[in-house]
Amino acid sequence: MTRFAVTPVLIGFLAFAPGAFAQAAKATPATAANAPATAVAKARMAPPVKGTAYVEVIQGQGKTVGSDIVTVSKIKNVSNAPIAGLRVDEYWYNAKNETVSGAQTFRVLKPMMPGDIVEVVLKSPKTPDMQRVNRIFGHANGTVKPTKVAAFKKDS
């Protein structure tokens, strides 16, 4: 029976062989052509907001569509980090401050990057005693502080 003997020299060669044959990755300088891609890659890797996130809201008026009241709003992330799991709830109250209707929770599935704008559509069943509405904002890692605005500011 023939056996193969592995010598310490062969083991040493095999241990250092991957380093000898590996090629160094070519570094690409930051130029105007690839700068936006670099910025996007860094933004995607940014950790999401923990605690209070800040958004601006252009609040739409509720319109009757069939037997529902549909409200379309726009939300812009003005925080310095992405907002993960943004959600919006809508509750309608009567004159006695009792809940009479509400919309299904609207969720933004992707992280909302700084400066991103999302259109929110909320549908609530219409009842005759609807008086006032309350919208509650939240996200996966804390609360959301909304600010109502007439138009979004342009980023420079």
Spatial neighbors of 31 by CB under 8 A, at least 6 apart, are none
Residue 27: the pLDDT is 41
Residue 4: the pLDDT is 58
CATH number of 53-148: 2.60.40.10
Over residues 107-126, the pLDDT tens digits come to: 999 999 999 999 999 999 99
Q: Where are the domains of the chain?
A: 53-148
Looking up tokens 């980090």 gives 81
What is the residue type of 7? Answer: T
In whole angstroms, what is the distance from residue 144 CA to residue 108 CA?
Answer: 13
What is the residue type of 85? Answer: G
Residues of the chain falling short of pLDDT 70 = 1-44, 155-156
In whole angstroms, what is the distance from residue 110 CA to residue 146 CA?
Answer: 19
Farthest-apart Cα atoms in the chain, separation? 96
Say what the pTM is. Answer: 0.68
